[in-house]
Amino acid sequence: MRFLSPLVRRNPNPSSSLLAPRSWLSLSRYRSAASIRSHSRSRCADAFGSLRGEGSGRTEVFSAPDLAPDSKKGTAMAVVTKGVEEGSPAKRFWIRSQKEAVFTAYTPFVVCLAAGGLESEAFQGYVAQDVHFLKAFTKAYEMAEECSDDDDAKATIRELRKAVIEELKMHNSVVQEWGIDPSKGTAPSSSTTRYIEFLIATASGKIDGGKGPGKIVTPFEKTKIAAYTVGAVTPCMRLFAYLGNELQVFLQNNGNHPYKKWIESYSSRAFEDTAVKIEDLLDNLSVSLTGEELELIGKLYQQSMKLEIEFFSSQQIARPSVVPLTNPHDLKNRLIVFSDFDLTCTVVDSSAILAEIAILTAQKADQGVADGLIARKSSSDMRNSWNMLSRQFTEEYEECIEKLLSSQEVKAFDYDRLRTSLKLLSDFENRANSRVINSGLLKGLKLDDIKKAGERLVLQDGCTNFFQNLVKIKEKLNVDLHILSYCWCADLIRSAFSSAGCLNDLTIHSNEFGYEGSVSTGEIFRKMESPLDKVEKFKTIISNLSRDPKHLSVYIGDSVGDLLCLLEADIGIVVGSSMSLRRVGKHYGVSFVPLFSGLVNKQRQLDKQEKTPVWKGLSGVLYTVSSWSEIHAFILGA
């Protein structure tokens, strides 16, 4: 049972945690951890709007009484509103583009380049194409300067244009080092051509909602074109500064990295300053624009990022790559993807949702709207009962984790000792579930209300998209999908995935409510309530694949309850920043590695043609991500 808020198992302030992994989603440096949590809570509250009869466009109250260890520091009632984006236009546009940035980073070209094994022919082809981009940027800056009516903006655009010219000179130096004759031109590829045509069309005023250059009749209209053009160029500069900064870690202990000069160029202070300069220019040019015009720039920014993904994805490499996982996957082998549900897929724990439904149902009974419901406690009694169960769970959970850590820390990964120790957590979960059943809290819930809540349940950003896209290629790639969850009510999970159009293509393993007709009796048919239950189900599913002896398993989870399955899988992926998961894992010798860094290391193994499997279960290594976009990029690609 996991009926507490996300903060029970997640570090309340992951940005300050010494255990928080270095992640490819550090792009959100512009956005505070507090604002992200507030946005998540806002989306959670929407799931209950239909049960209250409220619309989704208003301030709503989501009750989460004493759900976390930190709850003593604040009120039990959280008033939440729709998340409002903060920061300047350039910062907001970049935050919106996190998925595209991740997809670009996880392309085979970038991973092989970071690993240092990218063949020289592939890099030469990339550099030759990049020259066409830089020439287009020079032309676009020239056109933007002509449109701008502000002397300071004109001066900044001239500086940026000079920087591109300097970068072209750097490229000429690089291509000569790699044996390329710069005097021999290379035709632009189709992806390069699409990007250039988009950029020049934007600089000419040929954009959605804009006017062609021959129809620009006022100076103000021309200044808008300057803003649009800068909006189309800015993402490229920020993306390359970001990539350079993140790739520089792979130069450590590798002074002979073949692409050291390229990485150092884009990770330099000078290039970052240039990226900041064009972002400041975009902000200044946007001051006088309307909200509609700013949204248009946002669309241009997004389109530019998508064209960047297309460009990097189109780069031809000869060697095998570890990304995407489904690309080198032998279709004769089976790929089995397992995922936890609560707080791995969802924004809020399902137990909190079910408790909220129970309390709202009791409120209807208080008001005399019995509707044939089973006799039950008053809503205030239900609320008090939930408060008590939550506090008791929190206190005992923390005690249980401390007991798990009371033994001497192991020097090397010890799976057997970890499994034996987690029996303590299994006993605790069993007792906690019994208390919930005996409390009568879950008695009288209507199946229709549970299904409505599941339909409105907001999954983590990118989660729905991942499962929908995986389902599309499920048969082609010989993929099995399984959800392993402690959730008290599998109907809630079924409803959530049914609304996403994925229910018929995955198997759900969870607990079930008991019903009289369509109303819950308060009983839970317990099928999965502990780490040991989960791993036994996991191993049973794997063992039943005897007809497909060759298979690759992926498990995605977020908590201590997922730890054994994460380790048993060939690839264990940890979502989020659960402090308890990392503490327990580290105590028993588990290593946590950011997924991208892990992929670069695996690519190096593959480049060396090592005979050991690239992926292997019970290695003691788990891979951390901050979003489902990373999982999507790794398994499915862009």
Q: Which amino acids are annotated catalytic?
A: 236, 308
C-alpha to C-alpha distance for 428 and 535, rounded to whole angstroms: 17
Q: Is the dihedral of CA 401, 405, 407, 413 positive or negative?
A: positive
Cβ atoms of residues 8 and 558 within 8 Å: no
Rounded Cα gap, residues 589 and 411, in angstroms: 6
CA dist list (Å): 299 to 342, 569, 595: 33, 40, 30
**Count of Cβ atoms closer than 10 Å to residue 473 Cβ:** 12
Query: Which of these, 517, 450, 461, 536, lies nearest to 488 by C-alpha position?
Result: 450
Beta bridge partners of 554: 337, 571
CA-to-CA distance for 514 and 489, rounded, in angstroms? 9
Nearest residue to 106 via CA among 390, 405, 324, 428? 324
Q: Name the token pair of 287.
A: 């001051």
Tally helices (H) and strands (E) across the chain. Answer: 25, 12
Torsion of CA 466, 467, 471, 473, to 10 degrees: 20
Torsion of CA 288, 293, 294, 296, to 10 degrees: -150
CA distances from 90 to 231, 238, 306, 581 (A): 8, 10, 17, 36
Contact in structure between 247 and 267 (CB atoms under 8 Å): yes
CA-CA-CA-CA torsion sign (216, 218, 224, 229):
positive
Give dist(CA 556, CA 17) in Å, integer.
22
Q: Which helix (H) or strand (E) holds 484?
A: strand 479-484
Whole-number Å distance between alpha carbons of 243 and 247: 6
Half-sphere exposure of residue 607, counting CA atoms within 13 Å on the CB side? 18
Are the C-beta atoms of residues 309 and 100 closer than 8 Å to each other? yes
Residue position matching structure tokens 């009516």: 149
